[in-house]
Amino acid sequence: MLGGCKAESLGVQVVRGGPEAISMEDLQRDAWLVGGGEGKDGWAGFEHRLQQMHTLPAFGRSYRGRGADAVVCGRKDGRGDRIFVVLAVNEGAGAGLLRLASLISLTKAWDVQRPPPETLIFCGVDGPAGLQALHGAAVAPQDAVTTSFVLGGPPQWGAGLGNEVVALELGDLPPDPGAIDFRVLQQAVVAADTQIREKLSAP
């Protein structure tokens, strides 16, 4: 069974930003949260976590596309002109919850005072309907998106969302989130963060 509580309430020093901020405790708690662990809508919990990472709403004043409850996106405005999208798809299985939790941790890695070198848009979508809604939600013009990163899924999920699609591997994600080794998942998310940073730093 997955359990969750705020690390701050346990007297644990919380690291803000950078790869060091990616922790297995956060991954475990957030997988529980987006699965409705607080007895609330998991997407509301996901949206709240994006807000906690000091992202901005990606759709004007909203984190959700108009009429698209299956799409939740936050953005970090960068110093440059390029846009990068990081996408996690919840296709209804436990693996989808692990992708969303991993996306939250990636967002936390960019929760720093200095803006990123380029704009980052972090999107969680609910299955095929969410992917379709994301295409219609105009989170960013396709020709303005340099790279679309697909977290823990096939590259075709990112087709049409940017000039390039890069798959970020998370390893084998079990249907039961409680069955995963969160230490291994943490290492995979740190590696994914490294790939993103390398892309943003490339000319």
Longest distance between any two alpha carbons in the chain, whole Å: 46
C-alpha distances in Å from residue 171, one per residue of 33, 165, 168, 174: 21, 18, 9, 10
111, pLDDT greater than 90: yes
Residues 6+ apart with CB under 8 A from 147: 84, 85, 162, 163, 164, 165, 166, 199
Is 163 within the bounds of a domain? yes
Would the pLDDT of 120 be above 90? yes
3 located within any domain: no
Strand, coil or helix: 194: helix
Cross-strand partners of 89: 125
Question: Does 100 reside within a domain?
Answer: yes
The secondary structure of the chain in percent helix, strand, coil, rounded to multiples of 5, reads 40, 20, 35
Give a yes or no: residue 63 inside a domain.
yes
DSSP β-bridge partners for residue 123: 73, 87
Average pLDDT over residues 118-137: 90
Residue 160 has pLDDT above 60, yes or no: yes
Q: Which of the two residues, 136 and 188, has the higher pLDDT score? A: 188
Average predicted confidence (pLDDT) for the chain: 88
Instruction: Kindly tell me if the per-residue pLDDT of 13 is higher than 50.
Output: no
Q: Give pTM, 2 decimals.
A: 0.89
Whole-number Å distance between alpha carbons of 85 and 124: 11
pLDDT of residue 153: 93
The whole domain housing 154 covers 13-201
Question: For residue 80, is it within any domain?
Answer: yes
List the Cα angle 149/88/183 in 5-degree steps: 95
pLDDT of residue 3: 47
Q: Which residues lie closer than 8 Å to 171 by C-beta, 6 or more apart?
A: 184, 185, 188
Predicted confidence (pLDDT) at residue 7 exceeds the cutoff of 50: no
Q: What is the pLDDT of residue 14?
A: 53
The domain total for the chain is 1
Residue 141, pLDDT score? 78
2 within some domain: no
Q: Name the residue with tokens 């969750």.
A: 4
Determine, yes or no, domain membership for 195: yes
Per the CB < 8 A criterion, the answer to whether 174 and 94 are in contact is: yes
Provide the CATH number for the domain around residue 104: 3.40.630.10
Residue 96's H or E segment, with its range, is helix 94-109
The total number of residues shown for the chain amounts to 203
Does any domain span residue 133? yes
pLDDT, tens digit (0-9, with 9 covering 90-100), for 98-108: 999 999 999 99
How far apart (Å, rounded) are the C-alpha atoms in residues 36 and 33? Answer: 5
